[in-house]
Amino acid sequence: MENSHGPAPGRSRIRLTLAYEGTDFFGWQFQPGQRTVQGELEAVLQKILGVRVVVQASGRTDSGVHAKAQVAHMDVPQDRADLPWHLILNSHLPRDLRVLDSRPASPGFHAQFLTRSKTYAYTFSQAAITLPHRRRYVWRTGPLNLAAMAQASALFVGRHDFAAFRNTGTDIENTVREVFSCGLFAGCEPDEAVLRICADGFLKQMVRNIAGCLAAVGWGKVQPELVRSLISEGDRKAAPATAPARGLCMEQVCYSPGDPDDLHHRKRREHPAP
């Protein structure tokens, strides 16, 4: 079993970087009778090690949400800490779940409690017909006013109370979060636009609610200034509907400046949406 603050005696902590296509998963967290990312990983580890090993992620993703670089940790026997765990796990895992990297971590590393920032991307498709290979990863919205959406997205930047962008189902009382960046970028296809948002943390379905609000701005149903009033009033019922899960992807989790998993240190090139 895992100690929430450090590995138990005789165990070593391993950091994992994971990618998954979330369509056929019932989210990250283990749930009896449901196919989940955590459940798949822990079942394979049980098979390999013969004991239960808890895999702790940086945060839960909902049913249908994807990940390019989810970070997690697990504690394994010390004599197995140097094994190539990404190769071992991938040889047993289903094709819609991959371990991109595994490495020994310090005993004090914790995938959830030490995060400094997370980045999510939400993809809108304005195409009249969605390409078959993109249907699981985009929300087909039809034509959008991207200039108005970009104007609205800038209003999310800063430290605010995001109560109006939190769905029910959580007992978290503090709804203040700091958004470091929020903007629109070009997508994989000409008719796609990507909302990319980085913050010190997110509330339940916060990014999908922001995406839903921006889509309403893009359709001309509401004005960009609605964002200000929603933030100041904190009324979820006054906000537009939640965007569907399929367009959302966890892109990045950072723990310290210069973190090797930081997308900026990979010199990722991003271009603003036209």
Give the model confidence (pLDDT) of 193-236 as tens digits.
999 999 999 999 999 999 999 999 999 999 999 999 999 999 99
Cβ–Cβ < 8 Å for 243, 139: yes
Domain CATH code at residue 52: 3.30.70.580
Per-residue pLDDT, averaged over 160-189, amounts to 93
Q: CA–CA separation, 11 vs 234, rounded Å? A: 45
Report which DSSP code applies to 236. G
Any domain includes 112: no
Range of the domain at 129: 117-266
pLDDT at 7: 93
Distance set, CA 246 to CA 30, 125, 238, 250 (Å): 20, 12, 24, 12
Give the model confidence (pLDDT) of 139-162 as tens digits.
999 999 999 999 999 999 999 999
pLDDT at 137: 97
pTM for this predicted structure: 0.90
Please give the share of the chain, as a percent, with pLDDT higher than 90. 89
Any domain includes 109: no
Residues 124 and 259 placed together within one structural domain of the fold: yes
Any domain includes 2: no
Comparing 168 with 135, the larger pLDDT belongs to: 135
Residues 18 and 151 placed together within one structural domain of the fold: no
Any domain includes 34: yes
Residues 196 and 92 placed together within one structural domain of the fold: no
Residues 48 and 131 placed together within one structural domain of the fold: no
Cβ–Cβ < 8 Å for 64, 100: no
Is residue 259 very low, low, confident or very high in pLDDT (cuts 50, 70, 90)?
low
Whether the per-residue pLDDT at 169 is higher than 80: the answer is: no
Residues 124 and 53 placed together within one structural domain of the fold: no
- Amino acid in the structure at residue 212: G
pLDDT at 269: 36
Whether the per-residue pLDDT at 172 is higher than 90: the answer is: no
pLDDT at 26: 97
Report which DSSP code applies to 180. E
Give the model confidence (pLDDT) of 40-81 as tens digits.
999 999 999 999 999 999 999 999 999 999 999 999 999 999
Per-residue pLDDT, averaged over 23-30, amounts to 96
- Which sequence positions are flagged as catalytic? 62
Residues 173 and 228 placed together within one structural domain of the fold: yes
Is residue 266 very low, low, confident or very high in pLDDT (cuts 50, 70, 90)?
very low
Is residue 256 very low, low, confident or very high in pLDDT (cuts 50, 70, 90)?
confident
